[in-house]
Structure 1
Amino acid sequence: MRRNAWLLIIILIAVLLGANNTIYYLTTKNSLEDGLQHELDSVAKQIGISIESSRDGAEIYQAEIGRELRAASIATQYALDPDVENVSNDQLEELAKKLDLVDITLLKRTKDNIVLYKSSDPKELGYETDSWDPWYKAFNQLYDDKAVSIDWGQSLTNFWTGPFEFSTTETNNIHKWGYYYDGTTNYMTDPYISYESRQLDYDSATGVGKLIAKTLLANRWLKEITLINPSTFPDGTPQTITDNGEKLSHMTQNPVIAGAYTFKHKNDTANVKLANGTDGKVYQDTVVNGQHVIKLFIPIDVNTKVASMLDGGGEPIPRYVLSLVADYSMIQDTLDKQFFYIGLIIAGVTVLSLLILYWILTAYRRSQDKLARRAQETYLEEINGLFQSIRSQRHDFLNHVQTIHSLAELGKTEELKAYSAELTGEIHQMNDIISIGNPAFAALVRSKMLQAEMLKIRFATEFTDMNKLELGMKSLDMTRLLGNLIDNAFDEVMTYEESRRSVRLSASQKSGYFQFTISNTCTRAEELKDKPLFKAGYSSKAGGHSGLGLHIVKSIVDKYKGVISMAVDEPDTVTFIVKIPY
């Protein structure tokens, strides 16, 4: 039974510590994940602001390139004859080299189209532009109004330019074209430059790509940063077929505007759509490329419409989606370390707790053994005392008979009556004790009688029908209960003069229970009614009493599902009534 109790305690401690460790682990995990999300939010906002600033700078730089192309267009027009028929392709080639341009093309308006009529690049010649939307619209507006009103690109006086882009005539290289027409010629001037010769160096030094690279380098826990075009992301880069049958991809409509996109997940399209549509942040905790990551999708509004980011229909997009991929291993490493240290702490605390518990249980067992041994010794002493009293009476019986005989012969009737009455009372008292039927109870009563005699206390006892006493309580518990009650009564009456020291003990067998009643003199009985007499440590007596006597009595009564009550039925007398069922 003792082994089972120990095993149960160990299992209970292990379960409690395991539950505590699990709760701590999950709480720490959630806290770290929240922290990572907050850090992702903060970094995303900073990146968004920086990207917009960088992109605005790039747009301004492109605008300067546009002004450069306009100046080149004006210089070209002054160098050439106003009639396109009088301009040769060789002239355009020489002029392009002098102006540091890739090429120069002249566009002529026909009855139903606008064609590339003359060019320093022979591959440009002969192309019709009516399928170049929205370039064809811009060309017609320049011819008709000498100004372009479409809501993207750069419009200047007699001039319009679009973004850097691939073209129908050059599908492998990125160029920026400028278109100039002021009505003084019968052609539109189209000088253009390459991305590599102008914009590339700027973007490499201060562009979005450079910013992303620096951010990733400064934040090792970030695995990837991507700028996503929400309009074209689900379907990929739009493509058109040129007059030569080549596939033309439009740079301005790329699904990935900037950054890399290697951590691909099947839910990315839905998350981009959700973030773009709800103007809210979207998180996804997942495994990509064998790595545990957290992906964040956050929409970034574009302050002004730009030609470098278009939807599938060629219109500027109002916002793009910024995607950040964070390495979850940072959290996992922290959790593993904390879990390891917490495991060590818990193991140490568990061992220490078990040692303390073992010490407490050992000390408690020893105290219980000591208490039981003391009670057993008291019990044996009281039983021996009772037997000694009986043997003394039997031993002195002959002396008593001789004394009675001598008093009778001498005719001392009164002395004989007094002597026999005293002897009879002592015998009756001893017989009453013996008739209790429980040796421990009888021994206790006899011991307290002797104690009362020495303390000059009138100790009266009355026992009625105690034949079932052995069915009610263990002898040890009965001795502790009555012993504490009697001691409590003795302690109280010893505070009064000898004439008022009175204690009464009665025990009787009722229907279904035993009743024990202890009454003693107490001038402050009324004051005790509202006191917590049965509370551990409380004492109404002076002199450093422990206050445990009545608490022990109450605990024993509760153990046997009995009741104890205090009554003040007589003046200056307090009575404790105990009822124990059997």
Structure 2
Amino acid sequence: MRRNAWLLVIIMIVALLGANNTVYYFTTKQSLEDGLQHELDSVAKQIGISIETSRSGAELYQAEIGRELRAASIAAQYALDPDVEKVSNDQLAELAKKLDLVDITLLKRTADNIVLYKSSDPKELGYETDGWDPWYKAFNQLFDDKKVTIGWGQTLTNFWTGPFEFSTTSTDQIHKWGYYFDGSTNYMTDPYISYQSRQLGYDAATGVGKLIADTLEANSWLKEIAVINPATFPDGKNRTVTDNGETLDHRTQNPIIEGAYTFKDKRDAANVKTANEKDAKVYQDASVGGERVIKLFIPVDVDTKVASMLDGDGKPIPRYVLSLVADYGTIQDTLDKQFRNIGIIMASASAVSLALLYGVVTAYRKSQDKLARRAQETYLDEINGMFQSIRSQRHDFMNHVQTIRSLAELGKTAELRAYTAELTGEIHQMNDIINIGNPAIAALVRSKMLQAEMLKIDFATEFGGTQQPELGMKSLDMTRLFGNLIDNAFDEVMKYGEGSRVVRVSGSQRDGYFQCEISNTCLHAGELRDKPLFKPGYTSKGEGHSGLGLHIVKSLVDKYKGDIALALDEPDTVTFIIKIPS
């Protein structure tokens, strides 16, 4: 039995330590994940601000290029005849070279279209522009009103320019075109420059791509950064087929505006949509190619409409989504290291705990054995005392008989009555004790009667139904219960004069439970109502008392699933009522 108990204790300790270890592991995991998310959030905000600063700078630089194109347009117009029919393609080629332009094209308005009529680049010639939305709309506004109001691009006096972009006439090159018309010619002047010759150097030095590369290099735990166009991201790259059958990519509608997008997850489109539409951050755990990562999608508002970021209909987008991918491996490495350390600590703590538990249990068993021996010795002494009293009565029986005979022969009737009354009372008292039926209670009552007689205490008992073999408690525990309560009552009544020292004890077997009551004089009974009477160490008797008596009684009652109550119904009297299930 002891071996099974020890095994159960060990299993419980291991289970508790395991549960604690598990809770600590997942708490630490959550804390590290929260920390990484917080760091991601902080870096994302910094990157968002830096990207906006860089992008705004790039937009301003493009605006300067637009002014340069307008100046080149005016210079070209002064160098050319106002009649498009009198301008040759060779003239345009020579002029483009002098103005450091890629090429110059002249647009002519026909009855139902606007065409690329003359150009320094033969590949430009003959293209109709009515399918170039929204460029075609801008061309018509410039021809009609000498001002473009389509809502994006750069508008200057008699001039408009769009962003750097691929074109139908040059699907593999990125250019920026300017368009000038002041009404003094019958054509629109269109000079253009290449991205490589103007914008590329700026972007390489201070652009968003450079910023992203520097950020990734400075933060090894960051795996990837992407600037996402939420309007075109779900559909992928926006491509069209030209009249020549060539595929044309639309740079301004590219789903990935800047950075790289290689850590792909099937939930990304939904996360980008949520971040964009709800203007809220979205975190996502993902496993890409066997690599665990945490992805953050954070929306960034665009303060002004720009022509370099458009939706599928060619309209500027109000915000883009910044995506950051963080390496979860740093968290996992930390968790694994902590888990190993925790395992070592828990194993050591388990060994120490088991050793301490063994020592505590051993000491507790020794104290319990010692307490049981003392109770057994007291029980035996009380039993022996009771039987010694019975033997003494039997031994003195002849003396009592001889005394009665002598008093009768002498005719001393009064003395005879007094003597026999005294003798009868002692016999009745002993019979009452014997009739209790339970040797343990009978022996205890006998010893307490002798003690009460010496202390001048009015001590009376009444027991009924205690002859039954099973009272719900072991004899030793029954002795400890009554002994502590009676001793506690004796200590209280000894505070008062002889006439006020009253202690009453009763016990009876009821239907399903054994009930006992111990009452005693207590002139301050009302003060006990709110006192912690059963708390270990509490006592109202002053120094020299341990305060354990009532605590032991309460522990015994709890052990047998019983109930103890304090009754203060009688004046100046305190009564403890105890019920123990049979």
Structure label with greater radius of gyration: 1
How do 1:391-470 and structure 2 match up within 5 A? Answer: 391=391, 417=416, 421=420, 433-434=433-434, 436-452=436-452, 455=454, 457=456, 468=467, 470=469
How do 1:52-451 and structure 2 match up within 5 A? Answer: 52-391=52-391, 417=416, 421=420, 433-434=433-434, 436-451=436-451
In 2, the alpha carbon distance for the partners of 1:274 and 1:515 equals 72
AA of the residue aligned to 2:523: R
CA distance 1:175–1:3, shift in 2 (3 Å): same
AA of the residue aligned to 1:40: L
Q: Deviations over 1:107-128 (max 9, x none)?
A: 4445554443443333333434
| 1:321 partner SS | strand
AA of the residue aligned to 1:233: F
Name 2:523's counterpart in structure 1.
524
| Number of residue pairs matched by the alignment | 577
| 2:257 partner SS | strand
CA distance 1:88–1:404, shift in 2 (3 Å): closer
Q: Does 1:547 align with 2:554?
A: no
CA drift at 1:322:
2.2
Contact 1:562 1:580 in 2 (8 A): yes
In 1, the alpha carbon distance for the partners of 2:236 and 2:115 equals 31
Name 1:483's counterpart in structure 2.
483
AA of the residue aligned to 1:78: Y
Q: TM-score, normalised by structure 2?
A: 0.82
Q: Deviations over 1:232-279 (max 9, x none)?
A: 222233333333322222222212111111122223223333333333
Contact 1:534 1:554 in 2 (8 A): no
Contact 1:180 1:188 in 2 (8 A): yes
In 2, the alpha carbon distance for the partners of 1:236 and 1:457 equals 105
Q: Deviations over 1:437-474 (max 9, x none)?
A: 44444443444455456x36367667777771544354
Q: Deviations over 1:259-305 (max 9, x none)?
A: 11112222322333333333333333222232222333333332222
In 2, the alpha carbon distance for the partners of 1:66 and 1:560 equals 94
AA of the residue aligned to 1:161: T
In 2, the alpha carbon distance for the partners of 1:572 and 1:109 equals 120
Contact 2:44 2:324 in 1 (8 A): yes
In 2, the alpha carbon distance for the partners of 1:2 and 1:298 equals 62
Q: How much is the aligned-residue C-alpha RMSD, in angstroms?
A: 4.1
Contact 1:457 1:503 in 2 (8 A): no
CA distance 1:8–1:244, shift in 2 (3 Å): same
AA of the residue aligned to 2:73: S
CA drift at 1:430:
5.3
Q: Deviations over 1:2-33 (max 9, x none)?
A: 34444444444444444444444444444444
Moved more, 377-386 or 28-37: 28-37
CA distance 1:262–1:390, shift in 2 (3 Å): same
Q: TM-score, normalised by structure 1?
A: 0.82
Moved more, 480-489 or 55-64: 480-489
Name 1:535's counterpart in structure 2.
534
Give % identity: 71
In 1, the alpha carbon distance for the partners of 2:241 and 2:507 equals 116
CA drift at 1:140:
3.9
In 2, the alpha carbon distance for the partners of 1:311 and 1:462 equals 100
AA of the residue aligned to 1:73: S
Contact 2:562 2:579 in 1 (8 A): no
Contact 1:107 1:188 in 2 (8 A): yes
CA drift at 1:198:
0.6
CA distance 1:250–1:494, shift in 2 (3 Å): closer
In 2, the alpha carbon distance for the partners of 1:458 and 1:143 equals 127
CA drift at 1:139:
3.5
Contact 1:232 1:253 in 2 (8 A): yes
Structure 1: 5+ residue runs without aligned partners? none
CA distance 1:148–1:574, shift in 2 (3 Å): closer
CA distance 1:575–1:142, shift in 2 (3 Å): closer
| 2:201 partner SS | helix
Contact 2:228 2:323 in 1 (8 A): yes
Contact 2:490 2:503 in 1 (8 A): no
Moved more, 261-270 or 428-437: 428-437
In 1, the alpha carbon distance for the partners of 2:321 and 2:156 equals 31
Q: Deviations over 1:365-394 (max 9, x none)?
A: 222211110111122233334444555566
Contact 2:466 2:507 in 1 (8 A): no
Structure 2: 5+ residue runs without aligned partners? none
Contact 2:441 2:479 in 1 (8 A): yes
CA distance 1:380–1:319, shift in 2 (3 Å): closer
| 2:233 partner SS | coil
Contact 1:503 1:518 in 2 (8 A): no
AA of the residue aligned to 1:457: K
In 2, the alpha carbon distance for the partners of 1:71 and 1:572 equals 115
| 2:234 partner SS | coil
Moved more, 433-442 or 215-224: 433-442
| 1:364 partner SS | helix
